[in-house]
Every structure is written in structure tokens, then in C-alpha cells.
Structure 1
Amino acid sequence: MTDDDKPPIGVLDTLRATPTTVRYLLGGVLVNQLGAFVQTFLVLYLTHRGMSGGTAGLALAAYSLGTVFGTVLGGEITHRLGARTTIVAAMAGSAPLVAVLPLLARPGRVPVLLAAIALAGLFAQAYRPAASVLLSDLMPERYQVMAFSMMRIALNTGAALAPLIAAGVILLDWDLLFWLDGATTLVYALLAHRLLPRHAAPEQAPEQASEPAAAPRTRAERRSGGRAAYGRMLRDRAYLAYLAAVVLGTVAYVQSSISLPLEIVHDGYPTWLYSAVLTASSLVLITCELKITAYITRIPTHLAVGVGHLVNSVGLAAYGLAVHSGAFVLFGAVLAVSGLMIAGPSMFAHPATFPAGSKARYLATMQAAAGLASAVGPLFGVWAWTHLHAGFWVLMALVNGLAGVLALLGTKHRADRADRADTARPDTAPEPVGETA
């Protein structure tokens, strides 16, 4: 029976098909995200400790830069040492770096503080490609998109609840915030070491696996192989279009938390309206995404990402009408998050469709691109909003629309290439096809 002959994927079917180890993996992601306070509260904490706004901004930039390099490094380590080892090492390294930040947050220790923050960002994000690879390896192929939707729900649930936890912790002690962050990170490392399987480094790509066994490669040969892998990735125009879509879509997405509060204040609305937007968006995302993903798995991936970006663009454009009524803010937020639920799981899962020997690197480059856009997006957004105001949201809708076109082209091209490969090999079992790395 082919996938086309099987009944549609449902939420309960997915939950029943989820292996126990995947449940452990997602539980660890949730625990880690519940205590992820550094990026959200770093600026407030450093200014509370008497540091200037410039120093606090520089610290946040150092953390963001560390996360970009961390995702790339995490993908490379996952490729060489395996997913579980990468997760344990990343979390075990992140925990003490985060916990020691209160001791370094003094005016005379700024260089050391910035170095520690950058390393904390590097370790904190190095686990993400490994977790994605492990999720892809352990979850049945039929449920891949649903699996990545569950990971998104775990991340978003933690992101929604973490500020509530932080609000209570801050009342006791600001330093406790970072000690708790370090503790939850260490708990994740211990859970990963105890409960996740001992996966070896990924198998070679199909054409590599068919070659005769060779002697172990030297370090120089491994470096050369890595350069060749990234070179092939750079020649994959479909994947580059997908990466460009990730960057542009992320720049547009972050404006809901950067430029939207500026718009709300500028239009004279009370600050509780922004709190209502955050609450409504989180509730809709957490409660509805898995069910919506069950529907979008029944349509082609390129159609899902195209429609999702279109809906999201309409939501962004609606923010520009906020000057007329606060209802447009809530309306835009619901549309924006609906677009994310339609396009997000397929976009998130796309790099995992590449062969086992290369998907760690593909996942890492996607996450690094998103991290870089998350760092640059706020700077661009504030600058553009101050010059355009309501017209800024039309610009963001167009940027997000362009992201949708690029995502549609990138994912459709890969699907067409896979169909052609399957047709050319009628006597063999279907295998993942794509630009190998």
C-alpha cells in the first residue's frame, strides 16, 4: 500500500505512532524551553545590574551571533558524532555558562561577560540540529511533518510559559533566573544521556554507501568532505531559494514582537492590547497547530507553504489598519498565526527530507539562517517602522509574500525531482532524493 492509498493522518494516529524515545525527546525540549530566559531577559537584567543600554544591546548581539555559529557547529558535530552525543555535550556546556552570568555581570568584567554570553548562545543552540535529526530518524516517515509540528508545539508552549515563570522568579531574585535556566539545561542533558538512544553518526548518502568500504578517513579528508558537502548545497538552487524564504519569512515574523508593540503605542492603545495579542496567538498556536497539520499533510508541501505565507501576509497587512481600530490588531494576529500553522510544519520539516548523510547539515543551515534573520530582523524592523509607520506593514506583507513564492518554488522543485527519480527507478524501493552532501 502506498502513502496515497493509506487513510489520512490524524492527531490520535500520530500520537499512537510516536515512539517512546520521541516523547522523551520532546519532553526534554519542553523542559529546556521552559527555563530559556537568557535571550528574553538579558537586556533587562544587565540594565538592572547598572550596565548601560549600549552594553546590554552588545551582549544581546553577542548571544545572537553565538546562536548562529552554534547551529552550524551543532549540525557538523551531529554529522560526525551522532545526535545524542551532540545534545548532551551542548546542554552540559551551556548550563555552567548560563549559571555563571550573574557573577560576571559587573561593569569591570564586560569583555569576559560578552565572551561567556557568546559561548552560552553557541552551546544553547548547538542542540537544535541534533534534536531535529533524531526526531526525523525515530519518527516513521509518514508522520514526519506531524512530528516537526509537535516539536514546534513543545517549543512554543515553553516560550509561552517561560515569561510567566520568570515573572514570579524575578520577584524573588533576578540572579535566580539564570541559575534556574542553567538547572533546566542540565536536567535536559541528564535526560538526554539517560533516555535517548545511542545513535551513531548518520549513514553515508546512498551513492556513498554503494562504494566499497575504505579505510577511515584522515582529519584533512573529513574537512575536505565537509567543504564539498557545503559546496553542493550552495549549488542546489532550490534549497537556496528555500533558505532565502526562511530568512525573509523570519524577518517578517519577528516584527510581531518588535514593531507591533511600537505600532500599538503609537496608535494610542493600552499596553494590555499587546498582552492580549500574545495570549491569543499562543493559545491558538498551541491548541490548533497539530490539528491543522493533520489537514495540510493531505495536500502537496509546496501548496501548504504557499497558502500559509499568503494568509500570514494578509495578517501582517492588517496591522497597518490598526490606526482605525484595535480589532485589526487581533484580527491580524489570528491570521498571522494561522499562516504560521499552515506553512510552519512543512517548512520546518523540509531539510529532514534530505538523505541521512547530509540532513544534519541541511537542518543546521536552515536554523542558522533563521537565527541570523532573528538577529537582524529587529534592527531592520525598528529602522523601517520609524520611517514608514503604517506603510511598514505593507512592506512586511510583500516581504513575506516573496518568501512564500521562494518557499513554494524550492519545495516544489525538490518534490518534482523526487518524482522523476522514483519514476526512473521502478524496481527499487523509494529513497530520499536530493542534492547530496
Structure 2
Amino acid sequence: MTATAQARGKPAGVLATLRATPPSARYLLGGVLINQAGAFVQPFLVLYLTQQGLSVGRAGTALAAYSAGAVLGLLLGGELTHRLGARMTIAAAMASSAVLVMLIPSFASTSRFTYLLIVVGVAGAFMQAYRPAAAALLSDVMPAEHRVMAFSMLRIAMNVGAAVGPLLAAALILVDWDLLFYVNGFTALTYALLAVALLPQTGRTDGPAGDTSGVLPGRAAYAVLARDGRFLLYLASMLLSAVMFAQFTTTLPLKVAAAGHPPALYSAALVTSSVLVILCELKVTTYVSTWVAAVAAAGGTTVMSLGIAGYAFVDVSAALVIVATVVFVSGMMVSGPTLWAHPAKAPAAVKGRYIGASQAVFGLGSAIGPVVGVFAWTQWGDGVWLLTLVVGLTSAATAAVGLRERPDGAAQVTAKL
């Protein structure tokens, strides 16, 4: 399906989009999948450290250090994308994280705990710093009419990697727990080498070497962002949607257990979520990509909110867990690609920083969400689902305004540069 067909409101098919995907985008997505398949630090760090004799409290502190580093790393990645270009940012971030991750076993002891926190925190920063660069590069190399589909493919690559990762980890643990971090380092280094060898040097927004006409100092760039009211509303939507999503992985298992259902039911919900995203999101996006962005983002987020609110009725029937999950994930497939693609519409002089800010805000929401959810669950029980519904609907409302098309496109932002 051509861009002309899309302009007439006809969706581009999955195969047509794949044919329009340039080799550089395929290399980028392949690198993301490889890296994600070996991303073991966040899901297995607590288990690993407790296996090494550290207390649960110290293991949790180390995970918090990783999470804090990850949020800062997303902002760092946006800045580096402007200064180094997307390819070199990906290569530098992945190579640095490879070294740091492989050092974790050397510091996994009580006597070296302070050094462990530093290594884990910095590793978290570099492991996430590649994401804004990858998003900026993907938006540069993909045809504009396929940009939303491109971000859907990016999400699927990450989901496939996340599905493969635990299976690989299970095999590695049987041999040696330390292999988790050595293999993680190897996959990150592989991505770094792929970036240097196969990715184009695009995505730098400070202009070509020796040309400072497009340079926008970091402080000025963030001042532009701070004055962009609609983008701030978009960031609010990303923060709130992350808080809402966190309840799927944090509060839902508590609810399932409290309702007397076996843990396998929660596992079934996770599998249902992964299978739906991997098999259906691209096809859903072929239609959603022709919608008005504000409608797709707000409508999908509203459906997500209704789905997650359905978990309040898990006591009635175990089947409702799966039904609510289908509704929740369906909404996510509608809104997700549009929300994640939105910062790529920003002018070149601020694009990387806009992307970094959006991902950092989502990461912050992902860190806050579990704390909010567990507190609400312990204090109000099923009232957490009403709170989550309000958070989700507020996210939808801010998305509806934040993603509304400007009368003159990006001119209002450009005029501030």
C-alpha cells in the first residue's frame, strides 16, 4: 500500500510496510531484539544477589540503583544523540554497558556493596541510553507514512526479545548464575558492533561537522521543551500511563492470590499479553496509523483503563482475568505505537531530547507505579482499581489535548528555536 493510499485513509498492509522498511531499519530492529534477549539485569538482579548471600533489602537497593540510573540514562541518551549522532550513541552506550554488566559478579558481595551500587547504577544508565538514539534513528530512516508502524515493530522486537530472554536465562542458571551477566554483556557488545558496522550515521541534529547553524545548546533545547505546553501534557499522559501499566505487573498478582486463584492464572495473563502483542499489534497498527493521533492515543488509553479496572471483579470468575487482559492489551496496541512515535515529530534540533524526555518520564512512571499500587492495595484493597481507572482516564484526557494537531504543524515549536 502506498503513501497515496494512506492519504486516502486506506491502511498500509503489514507486508507493504515490511517491504518499505529499509535495511538499516531492519538491522536496528534486529540489534534491539538481540540486546533485549540478553537483558537479564533488571529481571534477575534481585534473585542473583540473594543467591550470592546478600539480604533482600540490599538486593532491592541495588535494583533501585539500576532503576534510577535507567531514568537518567534515557535523558543522557537524548543528549548524546544530538552531540554524537544516533549510531555512535548506540555503539558507545552498548559497549559501555557490556563492560559494566560483566563486572557485576566481581562486586556481588556484602564487602563490596558500595561499589556494586555504583556499577549497577551506571550500567543501568548506559543500558537505557541507547533507546532515544534508536528511536530517533528509526524515525529518520523509515518513510514518514510508516513511522507509527515502525514504532510498533520496535515494540514487537522488544517483546520478542523479552519473551526469549527468560528461556535463555533458565538454561544459563542451570550452568552458572554468573553467565547471566557475561551473556548480557556479550549481547550488548554484539549490538554495539552491529551499530558501527551496519547502521547509518544519521540522527545527529547539531548539523554536519563544522556547521554550527543547527546547534541548539542543551539548556536552550530543554527551555523550548518546557515552553511546549502540548508536549508537557503528552509527557503527563506518558507518566500516568506508565503508572497504570505498572499495576498489571505489580498489583494484579496480589489480587489473583487474594482471590484464591493459583499463580498459574497470572502466568496465563502474562502469556496472553505477550502473544497478543507479538501476533496482532502490527495488524492493528496498519489501521490505527491512519487515525488522528489524538484519537488513537486517547481512545486506546481509555480502553486500557477499562480493561485494568476489570481486575476488580476477579473474585467473580478466573476467566475475567483473561478477558480483562485482552481488553487491556487491545487498548495498549491501539495507543502504544502512536504515543511512542509522537516525539519523533519534533523539529530536528530538539528531536533527540524530546524522545529522551518522553522515555525518561515513562521510566519514572514505571518506577513510581509499583510503589503507588502496593500502597493503594494495602490501604484500600480493591479501591486500587478505581484509582487506576482515574489515573488511566486522566492519561487519556491529557493525551487527547497533548497530541492534538497544531494548526501549522510543528511551526509553533520551530519558531521558539
What's the TM-score, normalizing by structure 1?
0.91
Counterpart selection for 1:396 from 376, 385, 388: 388
Larger mean Cα displacement after TM superposition, 57-66 or 162-171: 162-171
Q: Which residue identity is paired with 2:95?
A: A
Q: Which residue of 1 aligns with 2:73?
A: 70
Residue pair 2:10, 2:290 contacting (<8 A) in 1 also: no
Q: What is the CA distance between 1:225 and its match in structure 2?
A: 2.2
Distance 1:355 1:202 in 2: 9
Deviations 1:92-148 (A, max 9, x none): 000011011011101100000000000000100110000001000000001000000
**Higher mean Cα deviation, 155-164 or 245-254?**
155-164
The 8 Å contact of residues 137 and 203 in structure 2, kept in 1 or not, is answered as: no
Which residue of the partner structure matches residue 248 of structure 1? 240
Offset at residue 292 of structure 1 (A): 0.2
Q: Residues 163-182 of structure 1: matches in 2 within 5 Å?
A: 163-182=166-185
Is the 1:280–1:334 contact (alpha carbons within 8 Å) kept by the matching residues of 2? yes
Amino acid at match of 1:261: P
Aligned-partner Cα distance in 2 for 1:137–1:433: 19
Cα separation, 1, equivalents of 2:157 and 2:203: 25
* 8 A Cα contact 1:132 1:363, kept in partner: yes
**What is the rounded CA distance, in whole Å, between the counterparts of 1:389 and 1:324 in structure 2?**
16
Structure 2 equivalent of residue 346 of structure 1: 338
Q: Is the 8 A contact 2:140 2:203 kept in 1?
A: no
Match of 1:435 among 410, 413, 417: 413
CA displacement at 1:435 relative to structure 2: 1.7
Cα distance in 1, alignment partners of residues 311 and 171 from structure 2 = 32
2-structure distance, mates of 1:158, 1:200: 25
Task: Work out whether 1:114 is the aligned partner of 2:125.
Answer: no
Q: Which moved more, 1:122-131 or 1:44-53?
A: 44-53
Equivalence for 1:312 = 304
Aligned to 1:32: 35
**Unmatched 5+ residue regions in structure 2?**
none
Q: CA deviation at 1:371?
A: 0.9
Secondary structure, counterpart of 1:248 in structure 2 = helix
Aligned equivalent of 2:149: 146
User: CA-to-partner distance for each residue in 1:263-284, whole Å, 9 max, x for gaps?
Assistant: 1111111111111111111000
Name structure 1 gaps, 5 residues minimum: 423-431
Give the secondary-structure state (helix, strand or coil) at the position aligned to 1:36: coil
The one-letter code of the counterpart of 1:392 is V
What is the deviation of 1:394? 1.5
Contact residue 316 and residue 394 of structure 1 kept, 8 A: no
Instruction: Tell me the CA shift for residue 152 of structure 1.
Output: 0.5
1:264 aligns to 2:267 (yes or no): no
Cα distance in 1 for partners of 2:25, 2:79 equals 22
CA distance in 2, matches of 1:378, 1:289: 26
Q: Which amino acid aligns with 1:286?
A: I
Alpha-carbon spacing, 1:215–1:169, altered in 2? closer, same or farther (3 Å): closer
Matched, 1:421 2:399: no
Deviations 1:313-353 (A, max 9, x none): 11111100011111111111111111110000000000001
| Alpha-carbon distance, 1:389 to partner | 1.7
The verdict on how the C-alpha distance between 1:325 and 1:199 changes in structure 2, with shifts beyond 3 A counting, is same
Partners of 2:285 and 2:203 in 1: CA distance: 31
- Structure-1 separation of matches of 2:32 and 2:296: 26
Change (3 A) 1:8 1:242: same
**Structure 1: distance between partners of 2:307 and 2:284:** 18
**Counterpart for residue 51 of structure 2:** 48
Per mean C-alpha deviation after superposition, the further-off stretch among 137-146 and 165-174 is: 165-174
Distance 1:200 1:340 in 2: 28
Aligned length in residues? 412
Matches within 5 A, 1:69-218: 69-199=72-202, 201-202=204-205, 216=212
Q: Please state how far the C-alpha of 1:214 moved relative to its aligned partner.
A: 9.4
CA distance in 2, matches of 1:258, 1:236: 33
Q: Contact 1:354–1:434 (CA<8 Å) still a contact in 2? A: no
Aligned to 1:227: 219
Distance in 2, Cα, partners of 1:6 & 1:382: 44
Work out which of the residue numbers 329, 346, 360 in structure 2 matches 1:337: 329
TM-superposed CA distance for 1:170, in Å, is 1.2
- Alignment match, 2:272: 280
Counterpart of 2:55, as a letter, is S
How high is the TM-score relative to the length of structure 2?
A: 0.95
Residues 225-261 of structure 1 show CA distances to partners (whole Å, capped at 9, x for unaligned) of 2111111111111111000000010011011111111
Query: C-alpha separation between the residues in 2 aligned to 1:329 and 1:390?
Result: 14
Q: Does the aligned pair in 2 maintain the 1:86–1:130 contact within 8 Å?
A: yes
Q: 1:409 aligns with which of 386, 401, 408?
A: 401
CA RMSD of aligned residues (A): 1.9
Q: Check if 1:384 corresponds to 2:390.
A: no
Change beyond 3 A, Cα 1:350–1:254: same
Q: What residue is the counterpart of 1:355 in the other structure?
A: 347
